[in-house]
Amino acid sequence: METGPTGADRIAFLGFGEAAQAFLKGWRTRPAFGARVVAYDVKTDSPDARVRDAKRADYAAARVEGGTSAPAALAGATLVFSVVTADQAEAAALAALPGLARDAFFFDCNSCAPQTKARSASQVEAAGGRYVDVAVMSPVHPRLHLTPLLISGPHAAAAAAALRALDMAPRVHEGPVGSSSAVKMIRSVMIKGLEALACECALAGRAAGVDAVVLASLDESFPGFDWKKRVAYMMERVMTHGVRRAAEMREAALTVDELGLDGAMSRGAVAWQQRIGALRLRAADGDSSDYRDLADRILSALGSHGETK
């Protein structure tokens, strides 16, 4: 097999969801990319056959080898990308360490509090790996492997070179492990918090029959924001990724708490992200560009769950 970028002939993914698949799709647009890619996703161990089969189908569609376990997936890999959910990041790293090659880069791309990243880093470094704190600074679509990454920690400079060899877009943030994640978490207080506020505002407005007036008023207060379009986009994001975003916002709340403040606003965002995401509604089943359609479907689903009057 042709040797991949930076001399790596094997790249491993812990977790094989949207981010992993987007990075890989981007890498494969480059003719020089020839690395062997192995993935392990905990869904392949699910007791639900449909969940197992769906994830294995993802492997097949992406032409990656599925590891039988996390350590097996990491064996021999010089570049490891951890892209699981925030609440599983530390456990996933710990479970995979027996397979980690000495001096392998461990790119922790998960949206976790600095304290969580620091604990994972100590375990990875003790196992002989090189831990890199990675903050993914925008959605992975449409940029794929060119999604902006903010990286920090003692290996950041060398890690940036390895990522650039994959044609990725890292930027070094000077500071220890956790520095990049602090930027991401504190930014998420606003970004994911605004999503939750938009959902609460639109759902309440729709239930009261005053949504059009409310959004028109917001357009007057914030000219050019286009609240109808923005609210539809934010609601779709919460419907599609709410459970994952809720896990991230728990970490954001922890970040704020550890700074001696109260992450109450972030915890409030957790509730809406979790509640709507757990409905498992597919935005694409209706008009995802129309906040009214999205809001009506959410309200209907909440009502069927006994959460509305």
Confidence at residue 8, expressed as pLDDT on a 0 to 100 scale: 62
DSSP 45: G
Confidence at residue 241, expressed as pLDDT on a 0 to 100 scale: 94
Read off the pLDDT of each residue in 49-70 and give the average, rounded to a whole number: 97
Over 50: is that where the pLDDT of 235 sits? yes
So where are the chain's domains?
A: 5-177, 182-304
Confidence at residue 307, expressed as pLDDT on a 0 to 100 scale: 73
**CB-count exposure of residue 245 (10 Å: 0-12, 13-18, 19+):** buried
Residues of the chain above pLDDT 70, percent: 96
Confidence at residue 79, expressed as pLDDT on a 0 to 100 scale: 98
Residue from 29, 33, 18 nearest 81 by CA: 18
Q: Do 251 and 86 touch, CB atoms closer than 8 A?
A: yes
Over 90: is that where the pLDDT of 308 sits? no
Residues of the chain above pLDDT 90, percent: 94
Residue from 203, 196, 201 nearest 264 by CA: 196
Confidence at residue 32, expressed as pLDDT on a 0 to 100 scale: 87
Confidence at residue 9, expressed as pLDDT on a 0 to 100 scale: 85
Read off the pLDDT of each residue in 202-231 and give the average, rounded to a whole number: 97
Token couple for 121: 């880093």
- Size of the chain, expressed as the number of residues it contains: 309
Over 70: is that where the pLDDT of 59 sits? yes
Over 90: is that where the pLDDT of 2 sits? no
**CATH architecture assignment, domain 5-177:** 3-Layer(aba) Sandwich (3.40)
pLDDT (tens digit per residue) in 103-161: 999 999 999 999 999 999 999 999 999 999 999 999 999 999 999 999 999 999 999 99
Residue from 119, 35, 16, 40 nearest 78 by CA: 35
- Distance linking the first and last C-alpha atoms of the chain: 61
Token couple for 115: 């304290």
DSSP 67: P
Phi, psi of 86, deg, nearest 5 = -55, -35
Phi, psi of 81, deg, nearest 5 = -115, 115
Confidence at residue 6, expressed as pLDDT on a 0 to 100 scale: 44
Which CATH code for domain 182-304? 1.10.1040.10
Over 70: is that where the pLDDT of 280 sits? yes
Over 80: is that where the pLDDT of 183 sits? yes
pLDDT (tens digit per residue) in 25-34: 999 999 889 9
Confidence at residue 166, expressed as pLDDT on a 0 to 100 scale: 96
Q: pLDDT class for 98, splitting at 50, 70, 90?
A: very high
3-state SS class at 144: helix
